[in-house]
Structure 1
Amino acid sequence: MASTFPTAPDKHTLEHGETLSPRFDANGLIAAVATNADSGEVLMFAWMNAEALGLTLATGEAHYFSRSRGELWRKGATSGQVQRVVEARIDCDQDAVWLKVLPQGDGGACHTGARSCFYRVIKDGKLVERP
């Protein structure tokens, strides 16, 4: 299922219009950040192609595009960590997506088993795992 989105005719329409006109990069991808809808915690950063964004909006569950595997994936399809989308936003120039989600399953978001992919702190130039 390929999704297509219209191209905004001008900057004003892009930034202030009511038409969703995501600007995908040269590889056909757009940045996506998922946060916990209840706590506001940043859960993960991923990429979406037009199909992933379209499926996310149509199903209410987060879909992403894996650059390493070169394929579409529904978050939680194998882990059970489905992300139910409460709200989807796009930034001012429509080149980044923000999903507010309710994590399902064990509540995690990271493939390492952590609740958030951002579980390490940079301290004095080194990575430290947060307790």
Structure 2
Amino acid sequence: MSKPEVEFQEGPAPTELTIKDLVIGDGVEAVPHGVVDVHYVGVEFESGEEFDSSWNRGQSANFPLDALIPGWQEGIPGMKVGGRRQLTVPPELAYGPAGGGHRLSGKTLVFVIDLIGVG
């Protein structure tokens, strides 16, 4: 797969985690508290501006799910290797409310995640 284009979403930002499968994988399933190997791109919901991408670094990212934002902890389990999933994550499940000390605090974030492997 190649780096995805994240489509701009119309309307107000959702207040709940929104999960949309773009490609259904047929490999091993990611489980809660597991380790995942992913390629991803993240954009701000309102501006569509990209703030992070493993594709730009030229290598996938390997993480224990428990070390990630709650939106990923909830949104990745159930994905299968080979799948591509879009997560739209409200601030409460990302970096917290505005003024929380992170540059993305208070922002709704959209991620497109490719599950490369599970550990």
Q: TM-score, normalised by structure 2?
A: 0.29
From the CA coordinates, give the structure whose radius of gyration is larger: 1
Greater RCO structure (CA 8 Å; 6+ sep) = 2
